[in-house]
Amino acid sequence: MRSTGPRTPLGKARTRRNSIRHGLLSKVMADPALVAEARKLAIRIVREHGQPDHCVEAQTVAEAELTILQARAARALVLNMSPAAHTPRSEGSVGPHAGGGSDGNPVVVAAGENDLASAYLERLPMLTRIERYETTSLLRRQRALRSLCPVQ
């Protein structure tokens, strides 16, 4: 609770790179291919809105849009990861609510459902971080769009 952050030059340099580790929270795009794609998208945006080619808001909108797409791709990748660490059991098992369903009989869970659920629970912290990155980019895009296209 009393930490003031890194104090050594090495620690400061390491934390400075945290936001560009995967590029989702970075305000500066590090990948040259993404920079070129953002530039093309920004030019399309400014032409549609009749703004000058060097419009900062259009560049911000384009970069935020690409970050949103990256976050959604990362989420899909996490959700589609094979639950290889969890080997499904061959038979059904009694669920955690052995008291049963509404008719009083025990709830039987199909083989592998517990494993799939636990695999998703393990991925939940990662999915939460990806959601935070996406939300930050959505807000950045929305703010830049309001500046680019003021309501009259």
For residue 21, what pLDDT band results from cuts at 50, 70 and 90? low
| Distance (Å, whole) CA 79 – CA 33 | 26
For residue 152, what pLDDT band results from cuts at 50, 70 and 90? low
Reported as type and span, the H/E element at residue 94 is strand 93-94
pLDDT tens figures, 60-87: 999 999 989 989 998 998 888 766 544 4
Please report the pLDDT score of residue 72 as a whole number.
93
Please report the pLDDT score of residue 112 as a whole number.
61
28: left (phi over 0), alpha (psi -120 to 50) or beta: beta
For residue 37, what pLDDT band results from cuts at 50, 70 and 90? very high
Please report the pLDDT score of residue 40 as a whole number.
93
Residue whose C-alpha is closest to residue 115's, from 91, 137, 131, 99: 91
Q: State the pTM of this model.
A: 0.62
Please report the pLDDT score of residue 143 as a whole number.
93
Q: Do the beta carbons of residue 80 and residue 87 sit within 8 Å?
A: no
Reported as type and span, the H/E element at residue 134 is helix 113-148
| Residue-wise burial string across 18-54, b where 16 or more C-beta atoms lie within 10 A, e elsewhere | eeeeebbbbeebeeeebeebbbebbeebbeeeebeee
| 114, pLDDT greater than 60 | yes
